[in-house]
Amino acid sequence: MRRKLRYLNYQIFIPYLILVVVGIILVYSASSDILLVNGFKPNVYGIRQAIYAIVAFFLFGIPFFALRIKVFKNPKFVGGFLLICILMLGWLVFLRFAHGSSAAVNGAVGWINLGFINLQPLEVTKLALVIYLAYVLDRRDGKLV
């Protein structure tokens, strides 16, 4: 574990933590007045945002410590991840034309309802694109042109 902490980029990690804390404060300050007027506890959304931040930290921290970098250099992993994202985006196009506005969540047809959670494939595709571009640039080994 200590070996992996050596590779942690603190110039990215510290601003990330600062932005998370500022985000929690902003959510609390933006919602506390409305909640108080409506008779709820004013810190409900702030606590919820803090819980989401902690869960996200662990969900992204576990792969950092559990996975090796070699996994992201595997062409089968990169291609499979990209293929899954393309299929999810294709499913969104299908939902748009098959169900129209009945598949929309708050007017947007960018969500897939899995029952227990609503998934937004575009966000997963952004991650897949970053992994794919890192893979391609790593294979070029400094020869960008």
Helix (H) or strand (E) holding 118: strand 118-119
Give SS3 for 9.
coil
Check residues 112 and 91 and name the one with the higher pLDDT. 91
Q: Are 112 and 87 in contact (CB under 8 A)?
A: no
> 98-142 pLDDT, tens per residue?
876 656 667 777 888 778 877 889 999 999 999 999 899 888 876
The type of residue at 140 is R
Give the tokens for residue 35: 């909640």
Compute the average pLDDT of residues 61-75: 78
| Pairwise CA distance, residues 39 & 6, whole Å | 48
In the chain, where are the structural domains located?
A: 1-67, 68-145
Q: Check pLDDT > 90 for residue 86.
A: yes
pLDDT band at 32 (very low <50, low <70, confident <90, very high): confident
Question: Alpha carbon of 11 to those of 17, 69, 80: distances in Å?
Answer: 11, 20, 31
Segment (H or E) for 125? helix 121-140
CA 34 to chain CA centroid, nearest Å: 28
Residue 55 has pLDDT above 80, yes or no: yes
Question: Mind giving me the DSSP string for 32-87?
Answer: HHHHHHTTS-TTHHHHHHHHHHHHHHHHHHHHHHHS-HHHHT-HHHHHHHHHHHHH
